Every structure is written in C-alpha cells, then in structure tokens.
Structure 1
Amino acid sequence: MAPRIVDNHTTDSYRVNVIGTDSPVLAVLCGDKHPPDMHSIEQAAEVRYTGADGLAGALAGADALFVYDFLSTAVPGAWHAADRLRWLHIASAGVDPVLFPGLVDSDVVLTNSRGVFDDSIAEYVLGVILTFAKGIARSLDLQRENRWLHRESERIQGKRAIVVGTGPIGRSIARLLRAAGLRVSGAGRRAREDDPDFGTVHASGTLAGHLPEFDYVVAVAPLTEQTKGMFDAAAFAAMKPSARFVNVGRGELVVTGDLVTALRDGQLAGAALDVFETEPLPTDSPLWTMSEVLVSPHMSGDFVGWRNTLVEVFADNFQRWREGQPLRNVVDKSLGYVPSAP
C-alpha cells in the first residue's frame, strides 16, 4: 500500500508510516533538506525524517539510521535513545561525525558512501593544480583591473605529486594526475612498490622525510587519531618553498595556524583548501585574503546530481539489508574507514 505521511506536530521531524507489521523502522537525520527519491524506501519501511533536535525521539525503536546530514554532530548526543538500532549508514565517505565510542563499542554495523565522490574530487584536484601552474587566479584578478600583463606559466608535465591517503578517492586522484603527465606517489599505512595507481607508496610514518621531493602535496587521508594534525609546522617546513598543498580530506588533518605561518613565511608557494578545522571558514581568517590560496566551501566532490546518487547508494544497501545480503562499504570501526585491498 502507499505510505501515508503523519505530521508529528514538531518543527524538526515527521514520519512515513507503511501498512504492515514486518516493516523496519528507519530514522533519517536530514535537517531541512530531505533526501530525494526516497519513495521506494518509504514503501518498505516506517521512515522517520528528523532534524537534530528530534533525533532521540526518532531513534527510539528504530532499526536503522540514515545520516543524510553528514555534517551533523547530533548522533552522539542522541545515542542513548538507540534501543534497537542494528545499522547506521552515513551519506559521505568520511565517518568521523559518527565514529564515537558508543557506536564503536556497539554491535551496530556502520556503512558509508564510498565511491560517490571519487572522480569529482580527482577533477577538483587536477583543476587547482592547473590553476596554480597556469596562473588562472592571477589572470582573473588582472581582468577585473582591465590590465594586460603578459606572464609565463608553469608546465605540470613531469612535476611530482604525492597523494596522502590511498583509498578510492586517493586512487582516482592518482590516476587522473598521472594521465595529465604528473609523476605520482602515495602515502598510506603500509609502504609498497609497484602499486597499480601510485607506483611507490610510502608509509605515512616516514612522510616527513619524503615531502621535500614533491611539487604538489595532496591530503585526502581519513580523519583518525593517527592522522589528526599530521600537517603541522614540521610537515610544512619539510616541503620545498615552491610546493603547493591541497587539502580535500578533512580540515582537522591540518594545524591551520601552522599553515598560515608557513604561507606567510614563504615556506610554501600556495595552498588549495576545500575543508577546514572550522566550517564555515570564519570571515576573519587570513586564508580568505592570502595570495596564492584558493578557498572553496567543502564542495570538491559535489557534482550536479550528487544528492540523488547518495540516496541510490543507500537504497541499494537498504535492499541488501532487508534481504539479509552482505552490505557494501562496511566500515572497520577500529580503523575509521572501509579497508581496501593492498
């Protein structure tokens, strides 16, 4: 039967009731932006859409939680109400907003949306590298001033890049940069040679010793206790002054004050930043006005139609979950990400 929407008379939640006694209860944390294309799921479950304030009420008696608002930090505070939860899916590749001790220590299965943003983020990284090399930002500034100022640009052919983070997004970045003519290496948990995408992969613990070799340093590592703050004053000091730093991973990978100092002191030639320790980036941050710094508002992966694709990934796993099949993108909660093959 068709579902019926029942208004709970709150400003932050409503539920879709499905006729049938065997229907699972699904809580969806979505805030004001409800996920699109949920009709098939609403036909098969009691769906409770909620904002942060109503999450605890929506979790009571829920079998599964879809964290569509992947930037929300509301789940830990409402976790006490999760009395029947078996599965949590987050609409992002990063899982740090929901990777708190209560979830880690529970039997709740955690899945993510790995694979949705890989190619889009790779295109962003290539785009900012070309922007730096070809002086595109400077050209736009001069155009606004009606100034004709001839300049020479750099080649990217043969330049060296290291991608810190060897998961699917890192691999997509490596493949695209390699196709564009850059010489690419990786940094990950385990050192190895002859990787199909990176060639040489350095162990993250030895990264500082290799940073002086690279023209572009691309951060895409997941946020864990081991990676938090890994790009600090020592890391920036190890890079050559002509290097550019790109962060499309997590803002907390970087000690922002150390990055600002390194840029001001000429230890780096530039930075392209899509993620920040504090989001939105405060209006008084010096990063906004520093030359050779490109700021984007956490959008490197957000292509036209990405919200629909996120729901498609969840819907596929929801069907698998209903049928007792293995779920895709199961996160190892002790690691903080979906393990990849060596």
Structure 2
Amino acid sequence: MSDTGPSIYSSVDFSPDLWAAVREVAPAAKINQVPVADSREIEQHIGDAEIAVIHGDQDFDPAKAPRLRWLLTASAGVDKLVGGKLWRSPVTICNASGIHAHSMAELVFAMILSLRHRLPFFARRQKQHVWSQGEPEAQSAGELVGLTMGILGYGSVGREVGRLARAFGMRLIATTIDPGRPEDTGFRLPTAGDEKGALPDVLRGPDFQRQLMAESDVVVVALPSAPSTRRAIGEADLRAMKSSAIFINVARGAVVDEQALIRVLQEKRIAGAGLDVFEVEPLPGDSPLWDMDNVIITPHIAGGSPGYWQRLMALLAENIRRERSGAPLLNVVDKQLAF
C-alpha cells in the first residue's frame, strides 16, 4: 500500500462533505469520484484505483483495474454480482450490511403495529368520513407483549428487529446460518442490534424454519438473497403458520414463493402481510397483492433513510482504517455462500 494513501474510485455520488470520514483515516487518499449508472463506464474511469465503491448491480471487468484490492457495494445484497466478472476475480467484495438496521427494523414494526391495530382499515374509513368505532374490523388484534416473534435470518437487520421485539416484551426465536457462532462480526451501528447474539430464546439453523413459522405470531424474513435462499420459503412453510399470524418480508422477493403467499393470503390462512420486496419489481399492476385489505405494500424502501450515505461512508472509512492497521475487513462476502 502506498504511503501517500490509497487510491479510491467511487461510482456512487457522495456529497463532498461525506469524504471527510475517509480523510480522517487516510488524509492523503486520492479520491476519484465519477458517478455512473452503466457498469461499462466504470472501466473507463477506475484506472489505478486500489479501492472502489460501487452500486450492488455494477459488475465490471477488474482487468481494467489491475491495482484493485477490494471494493464496497452500496447495498447489502450482492446477488446481481454472483457469477460475474468481479465474482470470478480475486478482488475482495464487501457489502453494506449493517447500515440499514435501524430503518429496516422500524419499518418492520410500523407494518406489524399497523396490521395488528387495523390502521389500514381506519385509513380507509377516514377517507370515507366514517366513525367506525362499533365495526368488528375496528377491534385490535391485541398487544405484542407475550407473543412470539420469529426471525428468519438473524443478521444485522434481524438482530435489530429482535432488539425491538424484546422491548415490546415478545418471546424471540430465530434462525441463522451458524448458530454455534452467534456473535455479530460485521459492521454494526453502535445503537443497533444484538452484538453477542444473546437475545433469542431459541437460535437454530435453517432446518428450524418450518417449526419457527408454526410457533410464531409474527414471522419476519431477513434472509440474504443467494442461490441457496431462492424460494426458501415455500407453500408448506406458509401454511404451517397460525391463522392469526403476520408475515413480514423486508429481505428479497426471491426468497419467498410469491404465488404461494398470494394463495395463502387470499384464503385468509394467515392474518396479513407487510411486504417491501417482490419477485418482480416494480410489482406488476395486475398483482392480486395490490387489492388485498390484509396486505401493506411498500416499494422496496425499507433500507432508505437520510443517514444512509453517511453510514456507508463510515463503513468505507472503517475498512480503510482496518486495512492500514492490518486488521481484517468488515462485511467480506463469502463467495461460496454469496453473502
């Protein structure tokens, strides 16, 4: 590594003030920010960069950047890169896992509370100027205290959902890829999550999924998108849920059999769903999900917040600091697992 600081290329359009975080750990860093949407344009600008920041769907030929050691994606998901040119190269890929924890977990609970306390119903009645106090649909499904929260994927988002669930007095059960290593070793916001993995009453491997869904009053999907998780949640899993249960997906649409979910919702086999992600995005206008009274739809915005880019830059700066001190990088993607 050069004593004058690393050469950094960014295809992400950061405001100039955000680069101060990098300047603090590498004052002499050479920064080349050329925002582009087309991956091929990266090859024209990346030059002698040793580190790069790119959007999560920007695959490019790393041969055009012979000095590139590692890069950071602006998204937690790297599924658009799997099998591509970067994936097959020795370049280390780090993702943005952890920066979304607060915003995604808060949306999860906004959906849960809205569905349990009938806010979509009241919103419809408000538009109709109807005082609905005496209607059966106006009755709350009850408080969360004492209910069971099941989290599929106890990563950074799942841990923050778990922390909030505990604050509501819920029992917590979860799945993770390796329950024998419960600690969070990735990037973590200081006020978020469960660093030691100590909050769940039950923490098991992926084979616990069906049982978790059967036991839970709320099921939250926070699984990574990878070949191994494609349609990991099938019709039998969904039909194992309680009729009073709520299903929330803020992960990726591809991890759920969406047609099976539609059938289960149409049959009222579960109480409702909050969905931020879908198999096809934008969600097609003819999807039955749009017209379901027991479904809340948001357009893949769970991770967004005013502090998003500042947190991404904090992760970049931390990894630069770590590399310069000889410490391991955070959020290194396992190319075998694809997350």
Identical-pair percentage: 32
Distance 1:318 1:279, change over 3 A: farther
* Kept in 2: contact 1:251–1:275 (CA 8 A): yes
Matches within 5 A, 1:68-79: 69-70=55-56, 73-75=57-59, 77-79=60-62
Identify the match of residue 223 of structure 1 among 210, 216, 225. 225
**Which segments of 5 or more consecutive residues in structure 1 lack a partner in the other structure?**
1-19, 338-342
- TM-score, normalised by the number of residues in structure 1: 0.81
Matches within 5 A, 1:133-148: 133-148=116-131
CA distance in 1, matches of 2:82, 2:323: 21
Partner SS for 2:80: helix
Partner SS for 2:228: coil
Q: Output one character per residue of 1:144-170: Cα deviation in whole Å (capped at 9) or x when no partner.
A: 100111122122221212000011221
Higher strand share: 1
User: Partner of 2:307 in structure 1?
Assistant: 305
Please say if 1:281 is aligned against 2:283: yes
Identify the match of residue 34 of structure 2 among 22, 25, 49. 49
Identify the match of residue 26 of structure 1 among 1, 5, 8. 8
Distance 1:110 1:184, change over 3 A: same
Partner SS for 1:239: coil
User: Partner of 1:165 in structure 2?
Assistant: 153
Q: Output one character per residue of 1:11-46: Cα deviation in whole Å (capped at 9) or x when no partner.
A: xxxxxxxxx99564433223xx54553544586214
Identify the match of residue 185 of structure 1 among 163, 167, 173. 173
Q: Output one character per residue of 1:169-209: Cα deviation in whole Å (capped at 9) or x when no partner.
A: 21111111121022110012245799611110232123124
Higher RCO (CA-CA < 8 Å; seq separation 6+): 2
Partner SS for 1:267: coil
User: Partner of 1:113 in structure 2?
Assistant: 96
Look up the equivalent residue of 1:64 and give its one-letter code: I
CA distance in 1, matches of 2:170, 2:215: 13
Distance 1:78 1:262, change over 3 A: farther
* Kept in 1: contact 2:62–2:89 (CA 8 A): no
Please say if 1:87 is aligned against 2:89: no
Partner SS for 1:97: coil
Distance 1:187 1:146, change over 3 A: same
Look up the equivalent residue of 1:44 and give its one-letter code: A
- TM-score, normalised by the number of residues in structure 2: 0.82
Instruction: Give the Å deviation of 1:94.
Output: 2.5
Partner SS for 1:52: coil
Instruction: Give the Å deviation of 1:278.
Output: 2.2
Distance 1:29 1:227, change over 3 A: same
CA distance in 1, matches of 2:280, 2:300: 11
Look up the equivalent residue of 2:71 and give its one-letter code: L
Q: Output one character per residue of 1:49-93: Cα deviation in whole Å (capped at 9) or x when no partner.
A: 1313312222444322201x33xx231x54553433211111233
* Kept in 2: contact 1:59–1:83 (CA 8 A): no
Partner SS for 1:92: coil
**Which segments of 5 or more consecutive residues in structure 2 lack a partner in the other structure?**
183-195
User: Partner of 1:8 in structure 2?
Assistant: none
User: Partner of 1:261 in structure 2?
Assistant: 263
CA distance in 1, matches of 2:303, 2:212: 28
